[in-house]
C-alpha cells in the first residue's frame, strides 16, 4: 500500500514539475543561443544565425536534410567570405594558405572531440581518434614502420595478387556478359589488400559474385550511419553492445561488420594467447608492430582491435574512391586514355610480364593520372577539426582565440582556380608542366602535417603512385574495358 502511495506521489510530483523543467531547458537553450550569436568571443565572425546559435544546425543538415556539409560550405563562403562561423565555437576557412596554417606539421593541435568521437566504438581509442597529438604519435610510431617505402616494396606481390584476383573476377563478368560495378570491385580490392597487408588474412571479398561482399557492404553502411551518430554521443558504442544475433536481425546490413569483428577478435585473442603464432606469418603485419609496445595503453587486445578497424576504415574507401574516379575519367577521355596506354604499353609490353612497382613509379603520365585522381576525390571531404592552442593563433590574417575549433575541407584547396585552373576538368597534364613541382604542396588528399603515417607515404607519393593502391590494374582495366565497353555499351559507365 505504502509503495503505491509513494509511486503516485512521485508521478504527481513529476507531472507538476516536468513543465517547469522543460521550460528551464528551453530558456537556458534560448539564452545560450542569444549569447552565442551576440556575445560569444567569435561573434565578430560572420555565419548563418542558426549555425552560430547552436550545433543543432549541423545535426539538422546532416540528419534531416541529408545534405553535404562540404558543398553547403561552398555556398556559405560565397556569401560570407573567407572565414565562416559554422558552429557556436567553430570556424571554417576557405583561403588555401589557411590550410597550411591549420594543418602545418609544426602545429601539434588537438583534434576536436565532436567529430572524432563519432568514430569511437568502444571505451578506448585508435591512432585516429586519440585527440591529443602526443598520444596519437606514440601509437602511430609503431605502425609507421609497416608503411615505409622499404616495407612496401617488399610486399608488392601481395598487392599484385589482389589485383590479379580482381581482374580474374572481372574477366568472369565479361565472359558472362554481366555489367561491372567498378566501385564495388575496387572497394573489394582495397579491402582484401589491406587485410592481407595489415593482418595477414583475407575476407575473400574479391571472389564474391558481383563483388557483393558482406564486409564491403557493412563498411559502406557504417560510414553513412556515422554521419548521423556524430550528433548522438555514445550511440555507436550503445549499438555495438546489442547482442550480435539481435543486431543482425534488426539491421541485416551489419552482418559483415560482425563477421569481420569476429575474425579480428579471434586473431587478436590467438596472438595474445600464443604470440608465437606471429612467427609463422609470411610478412610483418600491424600486429607484429604493435607487439613491440611495452605501454599497457597500446599492448591490449582492445587497442589491437581498435587499430585494426582503423586500418580497414581508413584505407578502404579512400583508396578505392581514387581508383574508381581515376578509372572513370581515364575511360571517359580518349586523349587521356590513349596517352596513358601508350606509356604503359612501352613500359609493359607483355601483359603477363608484370613490371615491378619501381618501374611503374617512374612513368610520368601514370603518376600524373594518380595525382589528378587523388585531387578529384579529395581524400576526405569532411572538414577535419582542430582546436586552437591556449596561446591562440593567426589564421587567414585573423587572430583566432584559444579553444576555437577550426577546419578547412580539402575541396577548397583542390578546386581553387588560382592553383588548379579549370579545377573541375580532369587534366593529368597539370602535374607535368614546369610549375608542377610546386603543385605537390597543394595536393592535400592525405592531409598535411600531423598525420605522420601519411607523411611517410606522401613522400613516396611525391615521386610515385602509392604502392598500397593496386595501380597495376590501370593497364589491365584499360584492356578489358574496351571490349566490355563495346559489348555492354553505356551500362559499364552507368554502374561505376
Ligand atoms: C588514397 C588513399 C588515402 C587517402 C587519400 C587517405 C587520407 C587520409 C587522411 C586525410 C587522414 C587524416 C585524417 C585526420 O587528420 O584526421 C588519414 C589518416 C589515416 N589513414 Fe589514410 N588515406 C588513404 C589510404 C590509407 C590506407 C591504404 C591506409 C592503411 C592501410 C590508411 C591509414 C590511415 C591511418 C591509420 C590514419 C590515421 C593516422 C593518424 O591519424 O595519424 N590510409 N588518411
The pLDDT assigned to 158 comes to: 92
β-bridge mates for residue 110, sequence order = 387
The pLDDT assigned to 454 comes to: 59
**pTM (2 decimals)?**
0.86
Q: Residue 36: which residues within 8 A CB-CB, separation 6 or more? A: 43, 52, 53, 54, 88
pLDDT digits (tens, 9 = 90+) for 28-73: 999 999 999 999 999 999 999 999 999 889 888 888 877 788 889 9
Radius of gyration over every alpha carbon of the chain, rounded to an integer in angstroms: 25
Mean of all residue pLDDT scores within the chain: 84
Q: Is the CB of residue 87 less than 8 Å from the CB of residue 48? A: no
* Percentages (nearest 5) of helix, strand, coil residues in the chain: 65, 5, 30
Report strand pairing: 405-407 vs 90-93.
parallel
Give the three-class secondary structure for 116.
helix
283, with CB counted inside 10 A (0-12, 13-18, 19+), is middle
Residue 464 C-alpha to ligand 1 middle, in angstroms?
A: 17
Q: Is the CB of residue 42 less than 8 Å from the CB of residue 91? A: yes
Residue 102 C-alpha to ligand 1 middle, in angstroms?
A: 18
Cell (9 digits) for 154: 617488399
pLDDT digits (tens, 9 = 90+) for 439-489: 999 999 998 764 545 544 432 333 223 322 333 344 444 344 333 332 222
Q: Which residues line ligand 1 (CB under 6 A)?
A: 127-128, 136, 140, 194, 198, 310-311, 314-315, 318-319, 322, 374, 379-380, 384, 445-447, 451, 453-454, 468
- 300-303 contacts: CB < 8 A, separation 24 or more? 300/124, 301/265, 301/268, 301/269, 301/272, 302/122, 302/123, 302/124, 303/124, 303/126, 303/139
The pLDDT assigned to 4 comes to: 60
> How far apart are the C-alpha atoms of 415 and 491, rounded to whole Å?
29
Which residue among 140, 312, 454 is best mutated to probe the pocket of ligand 1, counting the most ligand atoms within 8 A of its Cβ?
Answer: 454
Low-confidence ranges of the chain (pLDDT < 50): 450, 452, 455-496
Just give the CATH number of 89-487: 1.10.630.10
Give the atom of ligand 1 at the shortest distance from the alpha carbon of 380.
10
* Ligand 1 atom 2: residue of nearest CA: 319
The pLDDT assigned to 459 comes to: 29
Residue 282 C-alpha to ligand 1 middle, in angstroms?
A: 25
Residue 231 C-alpha to ligand 1 middle, in angstroms?
A: 23
Closest CA to 198 of 320, 276, 301, 281: 281
The pLDDT assigned to 259 comes to: 84
The pLDDT assigned to 122 comes to: 66
Cell (9 digits) for 454: 601519411
The pLDDT assigned to 455 comes to: 47
Give the atom of ligand 1 at the shortest distance from the alpha carbon of 322.
1
Amino acid at each position: 500500500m505504502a509503495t503505491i502511495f509513494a509511486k503516485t506521489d512521485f508521478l504527481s510530483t513529476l507531472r507538476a514539475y516536468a513543465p517547469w523543467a522543460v521550460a528551464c531547458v528551453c530558456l537556458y537553450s534560448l539564452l545560450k543561443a542569444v549569447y552565442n550569436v551576440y556575445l560569444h568571443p567569435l561573434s565578430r565572425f560572420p555565419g548563418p544565425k542558426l549555425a552560430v546559435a547552436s550545433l543543432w544546425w549541423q545535426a539538422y543538415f546532416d540528419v534531416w536534410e541529408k545534405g553535404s556539409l562540404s558543398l553547403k560550405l561552398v555556398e556559405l563562403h560565397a556569401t560570407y567570405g573567407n572565414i565562416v562561423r559554422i558552429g557556436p565555437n567553430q570556424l571554417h576557412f576557405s583561403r588555401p594558405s589557411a590550410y597550411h596554417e591549420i594543418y602545418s606539421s609544426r602545429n601539434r593541435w588537438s583534434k576536436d572531440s565532436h567529430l572524432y568521437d563519432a568514430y569511437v566504438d568502444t571505451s578506448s581509442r585508435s591512432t585516429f581518434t586519440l585527440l591529443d597529438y602526443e598520444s596519437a604519435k606514440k601509437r602511430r610510431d609503431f605502425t609507421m614502420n609497416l608503411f615505409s617505402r622499404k616495407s612496401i616494396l617488399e610486399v608488392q606481390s601481395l598487392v599484385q595478387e589482389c589485383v590479379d584476383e580482381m581482374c580474374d573476377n572481372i574477366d568472369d563478368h565479361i565472359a558472362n556478359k554481366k555489367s561491372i560495378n567498378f566501385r564495388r570491385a575496387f572497394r573489394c580490392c582495397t579491402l582484401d589488400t589491406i587485410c592481407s597487408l595489415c593482418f595477414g588474412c583475407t575476407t575473400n571479398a574479391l571472389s564474391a559474385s558481383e563483388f557483393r561482399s558482406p564486409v564491403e557492404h557493412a563498411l559502406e553502411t557504417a560510414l553513412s550511419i556515422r554521419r548521423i551518430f556524430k550528433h548522438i554521443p555514445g550511440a555507436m558504442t550503445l549499438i555495438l553492445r546489442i547482442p550480435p544475433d539481435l543486431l543482425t536481425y534488426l539491421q541485416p546490413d551489419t552482418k559483415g561488420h560482425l563477421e569481420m569483428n569476429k575474425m579480428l577478435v579471434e586473431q587478436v585473442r590467438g596472438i595474445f594467447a600464443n604470440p608465437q603464432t606471429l612467427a609463422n606469418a609470411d610478412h610483418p603485419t600491424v600486429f607484429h608492430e604493435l607487439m613491440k609496445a611495452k605501454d599497457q595503453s597500446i599492448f591490449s587486445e582492445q587497442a589491437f582491435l581498435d587499430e585494426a578497424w582503423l586500418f580497414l576504415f581508413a584505407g578502404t574507401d579512400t583508396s578505392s574512391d581514387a581508383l574508381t574516379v581515376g578509372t572513370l575519367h581515364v575511360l571517359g577521355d580518349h586523349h587521356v586514355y590513349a596517352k596513358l596506354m601508350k606509356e604503359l604499353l612501352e613500359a609493359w609490353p607483355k601483359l603477363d610480364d608484370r613490371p615491378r612497382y619501381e618501374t611503374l613509379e617512374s612513368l610520368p603520365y601514370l603518376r600524373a593520372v594518380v595525382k589528378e585522381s587523388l585531387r578529384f576525390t579529395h581524400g576526405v571531404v569532411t572538414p577535419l577539426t582542430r582546436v586552437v592552442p591556449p596561446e591562440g593563433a593567426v589564421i587567414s590574417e585573423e587572430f583566432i582565440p584559444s579553444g576555437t575549433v577550426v577546419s578547412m575541407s580539402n575541396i577548397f584547396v583542390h578546386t581553387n582556380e588560382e592553383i588548379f585552373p579549370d579545377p573541375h576538368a580532369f587534366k593529368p597534364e597539370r602535374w607535368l608542366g614546369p610549375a608542377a613541382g610546386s603543385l605537390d604542396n597543394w595536393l592535400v588528399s592525405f592531409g598535411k602535417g600531423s598525420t605522420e603515417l601519411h607523411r611517410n607515404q606522401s613522400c613516396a607519393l611525391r615521386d610515385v603512385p602509392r604502392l598500397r593502391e593496386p595501380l597495376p590494374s590501370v593497364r589491365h582495366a584499360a584492356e578489358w574495358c574496351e571490349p566490355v565497353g563495346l559489348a555492354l555499351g553505356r551500362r559499364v559507365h552507368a554502374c561505376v
